[in-house]
Structure formats: structure tokens, C-alpha cells
Amino acid sequence: GAGVSQSPSNKVTEKGKDVELRCDPISGHTALYWYRQSLGQGLEFLIYFQGNSAPDKSGLPSDRFSAERTGGSVSTLTIQRTQQEDSAVYLCASSLGGVGRYSYNSPLHFGNGTRLTVT
Amino acid sequence: DAKTTQPTSMDCAEGRAANLPCNHSTISGNEYVYWYRQIHSQGPQYIIHGLKNNETNEMASLIITEDRKSSTLILPHATLRDTAVYYCIVRVRAYNQGGKLIFGQGTELSVKP
């Protein structure tokens, strides 16, 4: 079936502009995650949504970053007043999620990311 | 969070088994070990995961020691397409942390002809 879909695949923006990145998770997956990967660096956790629970925002680097998930499916990551250090690949993942033991036994499946370049 | 330690890099001859080690000495009894890999310019790809027992699927085998303090990912017949960074992750298991995966630096595996 279809995997996690992210759009756009590439985005170039000027410093100071706002950007929105979109993620379409795998159908039926209730958990959704955002990560970012700067050039030559590891994957950095940003935010996690599980059903109707309050999101885990502990990885967001500043208040310029926000994310929402509408209808328990599609998610949008918004970066306001972009800076050059925001340049990175932004990755979205989804999993079956749920609660308790089952959630930890469900792998995350990643999209191929959005490459953001801030000039 | 249970941390993992992996070698920075490894080489493997094509057609041979690739054995990638991982230490996770602070793992808790109910935390899963996950393995992912990332090929350049792609998102991480799920390989396998386990709790206590050894696991095998079409991609790899996962061997977990009895004390759960270390594990080994085995690619039985490595090909050039297996060249990638391999991540060993102990999945966070806490009420308010939702099972997110925290990635380390991984092992860069080079499969050579």
C-alpha cells in the first residue's frame, strides 16, 4: 500500500519567510512524528501526535516551529520567520500507535522528507 | 533514556554476512530494541525489532543477549545495496513520551565487492 507521503519534496525560501510542510501518513496510522536532519547530522525528534491526546512538543527547537494534525490524519509543520539554520531535511513518520504495550511494538514508517533550503 | 553504543563504521565483503553490534546496557525490561537503516537521501527504513527473543524477517535477523544488554543485527548475505547507516535504538517507554524513537549516530556499513 501507499507509504508516508510528504510534500513538497524540495522547498527553497528566503530568510524571514514562513513555510508549511505537509505529511500524509499511512492510512489507519494514529501516531505521527516529525523529525529533522541537518546536513551530515543525525535525526532530531521534533514533535509527536497520538490520536486526540495532547502532542509531545518537547523537540521543537523554538516557538517559530509549530505543527498541527487535522482530523487525525494529515499534518502540517509550520516554520515562521525562517532562518538559515533551519535548512535541513524534514522527515515525517507514522505508526499504528495506540496505547500501552501495543504502541511500542508498532514500527515507525518514514517518508522521504522535504529538503528545506533557506537562502 | 536507555542509550546505545555502536561502532562508527564497518566494512563487509559482498555476499558475506554483516554482523552489526549494539550495546544497550541500561535498557529496561520492557523496552524494545529497534533497527533502522538510512541510505543516502532517503528516509530511514525499518528493518526489525525485538524485546527478548531473537527475531528474523525477510531482511535480517536480530540476536538479543539473554541479559538484554546487547544485540546484533545480522544481514545474512550483504549486497552493495545494503551500504547505509544502521541505527540501533532503544524505544523510549514512558507515559508521557509516546514511544518516540531517539536516533544516535549509527554505524556506517560499507559493503565492498
Which of A33, A45, A108, A114 is the best mutation test for B, with the most CBs of B within 10 A? A108
What digits encode the pLDDT tens for the residues A60-95? 999 999 999 988 799 999 999 999 999 999 999 999
Residues A42, B46: C-beta atoms closer than 8 Å: no
With beta carbons under 8 A apart, name residues in chain B contacting A106. Answer: 99
| pLDDT tens, per residue, chain B with 113 residues | 568 999 999 999 999 999 999 999 999 878 899 999 999 889 999 999 999 999 999 999 999 999 999 999 999 999 999 999 999 999 877 665 667 888 999 999 999 99
Listed residue (A58, A77, A80, A83) closest to A6, CA to CA? A77
Q: 47-86 in B: which are within 8 Å (CB) of A?
A: 49, 51
Confirm if B82 and B76 have CB atoms less than 8 A apart. Answer: no
The pLDDT value given to residue B17: 97
Residues B104, A42: C-beta atoms closer than 8 Å: yes
What digits encode the pLDDT tens for the residues A98-119? 665 556 788 999 999 999 999 9
How far apart are the C-alpha atoms of A87 and A82, rounded to whole Å?
9
3-class DSSP assignment, residue A38 = coil
Inform me whether the C-beta atom of residue B101 falls under 8 Å from chain A C-beta atoms: yes
Run of H or E including B111: strand B107-112
Which of B45, B55, B100 is the best mutation test for A, with the most CBs of A within 10 A? B100
Confirm if B39 and B84 have CB atoms less than 8 A apart. Answer: yes
Option in B34, B46, B103 nearest A43 (CB): B103
How far apart are the C-alpha atoms of A97 and A94, rounded to whole Å?
8
